[in-house]
């Protein structure tokens, strides 16, 4: 029988209470509540600085952003390295080690951004100004804000001396906006040893979607994406002076071909991932739409409902292959008829579609065999392998912070670097726990891109909580 020393019990009890309070002192983990405010403000400051680094792709020049992160990791004592795929095309890889009893979690983000036409912006696109409750600048949403949330997760784990069961890896990549060949594609192909123990990748492509009332409507975790097929059409004809146009003009041929493509709408097709997404979110729709969304395949056979449903671009792109004409070029001079005219198309294919078949369909539509079709970018469709633990952690987080809100898996109409990892059998989930209004979705790649300070602060804490549960518990 064990004899308890009654005189020592109070001290022992106080120690238990002290440590219990220490554990409970923070809703989000090892960092005390009193320090989170400073930590959040640090995140705002870092994002403001990060946005000021111009990584417009082309040319990318992501090495500057990689050096920005490397400096932070060096100060914090976190192992990191810069890997260049070409001069100036930097990628940053950092690892905070656990005891190896669980597989590593990789936090993926890209450092390049799309071009911004400064004259259209209210604030300079690389100012990083903090104004009216937002951090303004190209990349604030895509993908520098999420990158800072991931950075702060590593810093919080390190500063909090959290004992990890699995490693946490930070990977900032180059070139995602142009397909990722110089970034994630290069690393997965040339440095597979960096990812041999990775059990899960968390990346952009999903998050917390808010209604106009500011309340969460859904938590989206993307596991599959539409496939990009970027094409260039080239028409040739007789060059000459603008004052004497003939009948064999390259520009005219190209315009006729593009006119046919503009008129085309591919047949509606509801893939299983899309059917499940609309069924899972039907409860939030008006009563007259609920049953139709729960059986979308059947409902879309009704021409009236199909017309109403596809009127919204987001819906339409979820059930069709799409063609966007994103660039045209003829002569550089007004009075010169060019011998060559080109147009670039951004085609997005539904899962299961064959790119060769769709190119043949485009050939049929343009009805001009003299026009050359060149593939600029194409890769196979991929769906993430399952990861039940991650889905459980995200669902528990959702119920804790937004009780009753559904966790859904939408079809991402864009594409991310996830496919490089999915093709290797590594689960890659599109989930960044930033709280974004639906009205702000057009800011990605648009004018006046900005992220809410409150959204970033919440995302910093949320990312930390999700990752800590995955690797420390």
Give the sheet arrangement for strand 134-136, strand by strand.
130-131, 134-136, 450-452
Among candidate residues 361, 378, 395, the one where a domain is terminated: 378
What's the pLDDT score for residue 30? 65
- Residues 56, 200: one domain? yes
Please indicate, yes or no, if residue 4 is contained in any of the structural domains: no
Please indicate, yes or no, if residue 1 is contained in any of the structural domains: no
- Residues 257, 337: one domain? yes
Which among 469, 332, 453 has a CA at the least distance from the CA of 389?
Answer: 469
Please indicate, yes or no, if residue 5 is contained in any of the structural domains: no
Are 451 and 135 in contact by the 8 Å Cβ rule? The answer is yes
CA dist., res. 29 & res. 466, Å (int) = 10
As a whole number of Å, the CA-based R_g of the chain is 25
Virtual torsion, Cα 213, 218, 222, 225, nearest 10 deg: -60
Residues of the chain with pLDDT under 70: 1-30, 439
- Residues 175, 30: one domain? yes
Question: What's the structural domain count of the chain?
Answer: 2
Per-residue three-class SS string for 228-245: EEEEEEEEECCCEECCCC
- Residues 243, 323: one domain? yes
**Is the whole model's pTM more than 0.85, yes or no?**
yes
- Residues 345, 405: one domain? no
CATH number for the domain spanning 251: value is: 3.30.70.360
- Residues 243, 348: one domain? yes
- Residues 238, 199: one domain? no
Among candidate residues 347, 363, 378, the one where a domain is terminated: 378
Whether omega for the bond prior to residue 296 falls within 30 degrees of 0, making it cis, is no
- Residues 238, 203: one domain? no
- Residues 105, 231: one domain? no
Please indicate, yes or no, if residue 99 is contained in any of the structural domains: yes
Model confidence pLDDT, tens digit, residues 227-253 = 999 999 999 999 999 999 999 999 999
- Residues 69, 43: one domain? yes
Are 392 and 400 in contact by the 8 Å Cβ rule? The answer is no
Q: Domain range for residue 189?
A: 10-225+381-472
What's the pLDDT score for residue 15? 41
CA dist., res. 121 & res. 136, Å (int) = 10
Among candidate residues 378, 400, 432, the one where a domain is terminated: 378
- Residues 433, 286: one domain? no
Please indicate, yes or no, if residue 2 is contained in any of the structural domains: no
CATH number for the domain spanning 103: value is: 3.40.630.10
- Residues 215, 261: one domain? no
């Amino acid at each position: 029988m064990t004899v308890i020393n009654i005189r020592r019990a109070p001290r022992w009890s106080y120690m238990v209470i002290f440590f219990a309070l220490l554990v409970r002192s923070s809703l989000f983990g090892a960092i005390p509540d009193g320090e989170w405010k400073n930590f959040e403000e640090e995140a705002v400051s870092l994002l403001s600085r990060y946005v000021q680094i111009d990584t417009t792709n082309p040319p990318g020049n992501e090495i500057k952003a990689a050096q920005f992160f490397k400096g932070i990791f060096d100060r914090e004592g976190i192992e990191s390295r810069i890997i260049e795929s070409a001069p100036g095309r930097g990628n940053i890889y950092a690892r905070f080690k656990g005891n190896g009893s669980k597989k590593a979690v990789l936090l993926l983000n890209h450092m390049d951004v799309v071009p911004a036409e400064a004259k259209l912006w209210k604030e300079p696109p690389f100012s990083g100004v903090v104004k009216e409750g937002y951090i303004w600048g190209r990349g604030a949403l895509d993908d520098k804000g999420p990158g800072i949330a991931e950075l702060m997760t590593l810093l919080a784990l390190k500063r909090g001396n959290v004992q990890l069961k699995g490693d946490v890896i930070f990977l900032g990549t180059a070139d995602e906006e142009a397909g990722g060949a110089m970034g994630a594609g290069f690393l997965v192909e040339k440095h597979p040893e960096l990812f041999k123990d990775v059990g899960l990748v968390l990346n952009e492509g999903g998050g917390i979607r808010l209604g106009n009332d500011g309340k969460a409507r859904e938590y989206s975790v993307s596991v599959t994406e539409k496939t990009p097929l970027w094409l260039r059409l080239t028409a040739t004809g007789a060059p000459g002076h603008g004052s004497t146009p003939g009948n064999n003009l390259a520009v005219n041929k190209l315009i006729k071909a593009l006119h046919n493509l503009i008129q085309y709408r591919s047949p509606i097709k509801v893939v299983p991932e899309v059917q499940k997404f609309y069924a899972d979110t039907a409860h939030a729709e008006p009563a007259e739409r609920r049953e139709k969304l729960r059986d979308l395949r059947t409902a879309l056979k009704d021409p009236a409902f199909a017309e109403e449903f596809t009127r919204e671009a987001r819906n339409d792109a979820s059930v069709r292959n799409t063609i966007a004409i994103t660039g045209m070029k003829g002569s550089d001079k007004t009075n010169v008829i060019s011998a060559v005219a080109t147009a670039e198309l951004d085609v997005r294919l539904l899962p299961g579609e064959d790119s060769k078949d769709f190119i043949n369909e485009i050939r049929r539509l343009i009805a001009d065999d003299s026009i050359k079709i060149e593939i600029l970018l194409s890769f196979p469709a991929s769906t993430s392998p399952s990861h039940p633990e991650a889905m459980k952690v995200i669902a528990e987080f959702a119920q804790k912070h937004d009780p009753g809100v559904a966790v859904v898996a939408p079809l991402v109409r864009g594409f991310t670097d996830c496919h490089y990892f999915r093709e290797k059998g590594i689960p890659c989930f599109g989930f960044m726990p930033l709280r974004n209004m639906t009205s702000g979705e057009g800011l990605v790649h648009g004018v006046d891109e900005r992220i809410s300070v409150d959204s970033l602060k919440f995302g910093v804490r949320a990312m930390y909580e999700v990752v800590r549960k995955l690797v420390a518990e």
